[in-house]
Structure 1
């Protein structure tokens, strides 16, 4: 069963889409929202599998909502404006439907959602299309294994526990996500979008371009002039921090009682 939330500031549009979705036995509409704030609250409480999302809402845009969600559920944009199509697929939307929604075209979107769910069930942690067995850390400091991040990369879904993310680094308009014991992924999403959603602690932004998971930090080599090198596991190269970033890290470690200043 796919649990769906409808987000549109026009109640008749929501009613019409709900009626069309009733033709699909494996679709369950669990919530409706007319604003970004309502949708964010429902998404946080209900964790829908799919959001059918209008682009233009009364208190913002559908893209604003996508940027605030983590993990991001499957997104199907439903709008009267085809000029948003390219941007929709830039944020890895599953489909883009134009109003008024055609039932046959909706059936295509639903089938894509079914295939996407199957892809997620077989999501891999390592590249090359081969599935790896990944053992979650038993360290009591680790995040709950049920807290996961959903990354869409080149049409594939990668799902990893938040506790396995070692760090996130900004690269222009992209973010590179480094997963402990696996590999890194370049995601079309700004670092600040991740920062707004990741729990603090253990995730701390030590510089404009870097977020570090303190639970993955193995060693800090403090150097002269206030700089330092971070070790985040044998599979990652040490990370050099300048004076400002190193001072920010020291403050974070001290506030979480991981070091004595």
Structure 2
């Protein structure tokens, strides 16, 4: 049996090679690769191995990039250090998965599963990504200060955020303005891109606050927002395609 190891942590690679040598003394270890680049190059120049042990986080990126750049048909046993919750998710989807440091018994079970030739349920690359990459969460409320009182504003009540004289404010659907302690750049990363769009350097608008959209000179768009007296809100030609896609999703 020819086994390829793709692992960027040398101690982990040495331990895995030692365990495999003990459990499968007749196997041939093809060597250890530690980067996506090296793995892609290897697969373009060599026949497929019988089995691959693959770390998810490599020295130059996520190992899933290998599958996007090279043809990989050999069975894979994942080896990485993600938490127990992620491991349970992988197991529920019938994917072989070993937590580092690798336990000899767990390795033996994974090898038995491979050698038995059992067919497991198929799972897409995107599903695997979703299992190991936690879904990003966005703010539901923003804190604002009114005199000595602190109040929360639900994001569903926010029409838009804007900057004015080096101050960031939020405007509610009820036409009230409040100062917030974030820059627009920070807010852009805090709110859902499905609900909010960065119109330009001065405005981030909720979808419901877009009152009118007009074509403008030089392939730009002019936006009218509800409860807004600024009639010169422009979207650049570079952002126009993304804005239209967001508006029509």
Which TM class, normalised by the smaller chain length?
Answer: 0.3 to 0.5
TM-score calculated relative to the size of structure 2: 0.43
The structure number with the bigger radius of gyration is: 2
TM-score of the superposed pair, with normalisation by structure 1:
0.41
